[in-house]
Every structure is written in C-alpha cells, then in structure tokens.
C-alpha cells in the first residue's frame, strides 16, 4: 500500500518539512503533485517526477526530481515551485493569523503531465503551512502614510 507523509504535518511556512513516499515498486516512476487553493479559491500546483529507490521509497530531499516544475534535489521544491492554474496570479496569504494554507500532496502513478485535478492519486496527505506562530500578537500600524503590521512574540 502506497503512503505519502509530510513531517511535521503542521508547521510555519518558513520551516522545512520532509516528504516521504513508501510502498512503491522498486524503480517505479511516479509524480509527486502539491496543490492548494488560496483565499480567493485560485488553485496553485507543482509537480515533480521521481523514480523510486530499490526499497520502493521516494524522498525529495535525497533523490533528484527528473523533471516537472523543477529538476534536481530540492527538499522543499514542491512548496517553492507552486504555480497558478490561471496566468498572472500571485500566491498571497492575507489572513496570516487566522488560518494556514492547506497543501495537498499526492502521489500519481507514472508521469502525470496533465493538470486535471480529478486524476486519481495512489496516496495523498495534507500539510498545514502557518504564517504566524502560536501566541504571536498582530498589531496594525498606521502612522501618517505608513501602513503595516507589527508581530510581537508571546
């Protein structure tokens, strides 16, 4: 049975995570796909192609992606190379304190080139990417023409 995990499952957006796939056949070609919907419902996704090792595992931190949104060894590549389905959109988190981005990570058999979100994955999981840590206080700043936010640690 194929399993994909993201460790830790919930983390700050600037912290690295480890993605692991287990239960594949040795040397099996797979596509790892990550996607999320932003606060306006716009979909962003990335994908990378991998060949499983002799134990039937894929670790993007150790094995080079063969292509897709990137190639080479990029442990966080699936998160860093998220691109919008609609041109000229930017991934922006407006409600930084209220909710995380929920990133879906999926394993597809073979080289998944299509952008069809209905492709049936072999396995999937969800990771939460928070922009503000627990207990951090957000204070709006308005001084003259200056607008911003001050984030105070607990």
Taking the domains of the chain in order of start, what are their residue ranges? 3-152
Closest among 62, 54, 48, 77 to 20, alpha carbons compared: 62
Q: Decide if domain 3-152 falls under CATH 2.60.40.2240.
A: yes
Quick one: how far is CA 68 from the chain centroid?
14
Q: Please answer whether residues 51 and 88 qualify as being in contact, where contact means their C-beta atoms are separated by less than 8 angstroms.
A: no
Q: Render pLDDT for 96-109 as a digit per residue (tens, 0 to 9).
A: 888 999 999 999 99
Listed as ranges, residues in the chain with pLDDT below 50 are none
Model pTM score: 0.89
DSSP code for 25:
P
pLDDT at 84: 96
């Amino acid at each position: 049975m194929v399993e994909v995990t993201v460790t830790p499952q919930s983390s700050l957006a600037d912290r690295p995570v480890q993605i692991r796939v287990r239960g594949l056949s040795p040397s099996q070609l797979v596509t790892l796909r990550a996607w999320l919907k932003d606060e306006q419902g716009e979909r962003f996704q990335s994908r990378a192609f991998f060949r499983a090792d002799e134990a039937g595992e894929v670790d993007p931190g150790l094995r080079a992606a063969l292509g897709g949104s990137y190639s080479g060894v990029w442990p966080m590549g699936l998160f860093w190379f998220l691109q919008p389905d609609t041109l000229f959109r930017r991934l922006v988190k407006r409600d930084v304190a209220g909710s995380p981005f929920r990133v879906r990570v999926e394993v597809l058999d073979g080289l998944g080139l299509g952008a069809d979100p209905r492709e049936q994955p072999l396995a999937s999981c969800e990771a939460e990417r928070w922009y503000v840590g627990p207990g951090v206080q957000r204070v709006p700043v308005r001084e003259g023409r200056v607008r911003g936010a001050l984030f105070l640690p607990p």
